[in-house]
Chain A
Amino acid sequence: MSLKDEMKPQRNILHDYGMYIAFVVIVVFFSIATKGLFISSRNIGNLVNAMSYIAVMAVGMTLVIVIRHIDLSVGFLAGTLGAVAAISLKYWQLPVGLTIPIVLALGIIAGLVTAFLVARMNIPAFVATLAGWLFYHGLLQLVTRKTGTIIINDPIFNAFGNGFIPDIKGIMFLPDVHKVTLLLGLLGILLFIRSEIINRRDTKAYNFGVIPMNMFIAKLVFFSIIIAGITWVLAGYKGLSWSAVVVLLVVFLYYYITTKTVIGRHIFAVGGNPEAAQLNGISVKKITYLVFGSMGFLTAISGILYASWLRSATTIAGTGMELDAIAAAFVGGVAVSGGVGKVTGSILGALVMASLTNGMNLLGWDISIQYIVRALVLAGAVIFDVATRKRRT
């Protein structure tokens, strides 16, 4: 065999795990500065609920940016879809089981309309979705004009943004800790370790290079501790919230699609080189419809989580949400030039930005300072990403 199987890591460790380390630093800093308030179970539970709708949107935005587009319309679209959900529950008297599918379908349709403008009418996504931003801003005001803020009383709907998964009753062991959450956390760690070990074994079996054993163990321990820590903290309050469950489901689904399926491969191919993708029989149009359709779908979920969290639909719901989602994606390492980005990275980005806001609020920092700090973190993250990404020599 003429091939040498040894291979150097393509991106240095600093690049891959830099943001994880930054996240840990942020958590430790705020935990100390707030004398433990930040890391308290109750606060982390709130933080997770408050970041969930941005995280879900950031996942969709990641794919949009990967295929070299942008979507500015999703903030007010989420607000509008939340209002539709509220109206459906309150005025149309439809059950939750019907309201949610309707809202999801409307979200997908809205995404496909954007895709139509971009893929078919060849309008730059920035312009098309700026028009969408104006349109949904207007639409949101129109649908909430008569009612103003719509209070949602449906307990099932409100549970998505505020409720927690049930626990097993009547176990004496660890009385104030949420047992189901602990079990899920343990399961998560085991699944993580299992998949990493299988992956490493397979990689070696096919004669590809792997990271050294001590590094591998360090990686397993690091991530296991993070999962365990988060689990323990969450279990200390009311356990895993439904919104966290939604985020986890979205992350697993999109992680799988982007890394393990033909569709995911094609999305990244279109992002890397649309002409090449087209020449190889991949329809750039189809991928554009798919990605914007998925953005609309996730926007609907985001709108539902937000309305549910606030237990109401307001006339300004969704304002600026799209920018938070875009910021989360870029902090998470998505490249502006397209073709590069990870679902897990964007979730981490959302978590970093939400932690900053939450921590600074706890410390009572002035809102103007908060904006400036977030600006610096965003710029710093992208500078770090560009500087540590290895380029072709």
Chain B
Amino acid sequence: MDTVTDTKPVAEMVNIRKSFAAVQALKGVDLVLHHGEVLGLVGDNAAGKSSLMKVLSGAYIPDDGEIRIEGNKVHMSDPLDARHLGIEMVYQDLALADNLDITSNVFLGRELVKTHLGPISALDSRHMEREAKRLLDRLKIDIPSVRLLVERLSGGQRQAVAIARATAFNSKVIIMDEPTAALSVASIKLVLDVIRELKVQGASIILISHRIEDIYSVSDRLIVMRQGRKVHDVPVTGTLDEFREEVVAYMIGARDDFSNLEKN
């Protein structure tokens, strides 16, 4: 990788605004994600964190503001545009098809093809299975076979497969929306291990979570949002208790680092 792109943030959002009818969901939010960084994103319900990530993943088109990927200004009109730019979203409700096996899910919508015959394309199943297996190995995800149907996996394994899929196609930015919500303790550990492994391999990740201890344990930096604005943006430091206390103070509005920059 050349050094010029390395010094530029991998993703940058500047003054993003988005309204739904009378509701201002995002009131001018800035966000920077550096290469190889895990950025935690927290906030109460309706703080705007999911809306912000939907803007970055192409699901919402912002009313105002700019998005730059590796320094280049981009326009996205749907999630496929974002995906072509290397932005992958791991959805909270797990966009997996339970009736298909792991390989089929990893390659869903991007199947490898052996031969084309008009509108009919023959699947290259062996190649896909091999690649899927390599992918799980690389992320140290321990699942007995890529031929297992997703419906037979545990919650953590499903989340791991969803994350593996997001990393399968040279993605630049991986956004995870509550990857540890509604999981057992063992499954949470599995998912966090996968995130750590991704980080070691240099992936750039934005992690939305309600679980402050998860953010603390894997993130480099943290952004707190409240009522459609960014109120806090700092590196993760100190002990978990200090960290939690500080984050909560910002979440409930007791503290705000950016309030004097914008009054409305």
Stretch at the interface among B11-19, B68-76, B125-133: B125-133
The reply to whether the CB of B96 lies closer than 8 angstroms to some CB of chain A is yes
**A206→B120 contact, CB < 8 A:** no
Interchain CA distance A265-B100 in the complex, whole Å: 9
- Contact A263 to B79, CB < 8 A, known contacts A268-B99, A272-B98, A279-B91: no
By a CB distance below 8 angstroms, the chain A residues around B46 are none
**Cross-interface CB contact of B109 among A10, A282, A340, cutoff 8 Å:** A282
**B123→A7 contact, CB < 8 A:** no
Central interface residue in B80, B83, B97, B100, by most chain A CB within 10 Å: B97
- Contact A281 to B145, CB < 8 A, known contacts A276-B97, A339-B97: no
- Contact A206 to B126, CB < 8 A, known contacts A281-B80, A392-B152: yes
Q: How far is the CB of A344 from chain B (nearest CB, A)?
A: 17
Stretch at the interface among A22-30, A90-98, A254-262, A324-332: A254-262
**B93→A275 contact, CB < 8 A:** yes
Q: How far is the CB of B105 from chain A (nearest CB, A)?
A: 8
The reply to whether the CB of A3 lies closer than 8 angstroms to some CB of chain B is yes
The residue in chain B whose Cβ has the minimal distance to the Cβ of A282 is B109
The residue in chain B whose Cβ has the minimal distance to the Cβ of A341 is B99
The reply to whether the CB of A169 lies closer than 8 angstroms to some CB of chain B is no
The reply to whether the CB of A167 lies closer than 8 angstroms to some CB of chain B is no
5 pairs across A/B with beta carbons < 8 Å? A261-B123, A265-B108, A265-B111, A280-B109, A280-B110
**Chain A residues close to B by CB (< 8 Å):** 1-7, 10, 202, 206, 208-209, 257, 260-263, 265-266, 268-269, 271-273, 275-277, 279-282, 339-340, 390-393
By a CB distance below 8 angstroms, the chain B residues around A260 are 122-123, 125
The reply to whether the CB of B219 lies closer than 8 angstroms to some CB of chain A is no
The reply to whether the CB of B85 lies closer than 8 angstroms to some CB of chain A is no
Stretch at the interface among B136-144, B181-189, B224-232, B235-243: B136-144
Per-position 1/0 for B131-170, Cβ under 8 A of A: 0010011001011110111011100000000000000000
**B100→A282 contact, CB < 8 A:** no
Interchain CA distance A280-B178 in the complex, whole Å: 19
**Cross-interface CB contact of A3 among B79, B95, B111, B133, cutoff 8 Å:** B133
Give the number of residues in B that approach A within 8 Å (Cβ atoms): 41
**B145→A208 contact, CB < 8 A:** yes
Interchain CA distance A262-B143 in the complex, whole Å: 25
**A3→B98 contact, CB < 8 A:** no
By a CB distance below 8 angstroms, the chain A residues around B145 are 3-7, 208-209
**B144→A4 contact, CB < 8 A:** yes
Across chains A and B, which 7 residue pairs bring their CB atoms closest together, nearest first? A280-B109, A272-B97, A339-B99, A272-B99, A276-B95, A7-B145, A281-B109
Q: How far is the CB of B128 from chain A (nearest CB, A)?
A: 10
Interchain CA distance A277-B98 in the complex, whole Å: 11
The residue in chain B whose Cβ has the minimal distance to the Cβ of A340 is B99
The residue in chain A whose Cβ has the minimal distance to the Cβ of B145 is A7
Q: How far is the CB of B124 from chain A (nearest CB, A)?
A: 10
By a CB distance below 8 angstroms, the chain B residues around A279 are 79, 91, 95
**A268→B121 contact, CB < 8 A:** no
- Contact A7 to B97, CB < 8 A, known contacts A262-B111, A262-B123: no
Knowing that A206-B129, A280-B95 are A-B contacts, what are 19 other residue pairs whose CB atoms are under 8 Å apart, sorted by A's residue number? A2-B140, A3-B133, A3-B137, A4-B142, A208-B129, A260-B125, A261-B121, A263-B119, A263-B120, A268-B99, A269-B100, A271-B99, A272-B97, A272-B99, A272-B100, A273-B96, A273-B97, A276-B96, A277-B108
Interchain CA distance A273-B99 in the complex, whole Å: 8
By a CB distance below 8 angstroms, the chain B residues around A391 are 151
Interchain CA distance A1-B141 in the complex, whole Å: 11
The residue in chain A whose Cβ has the minimal distance to the Cβ of B80 is A281
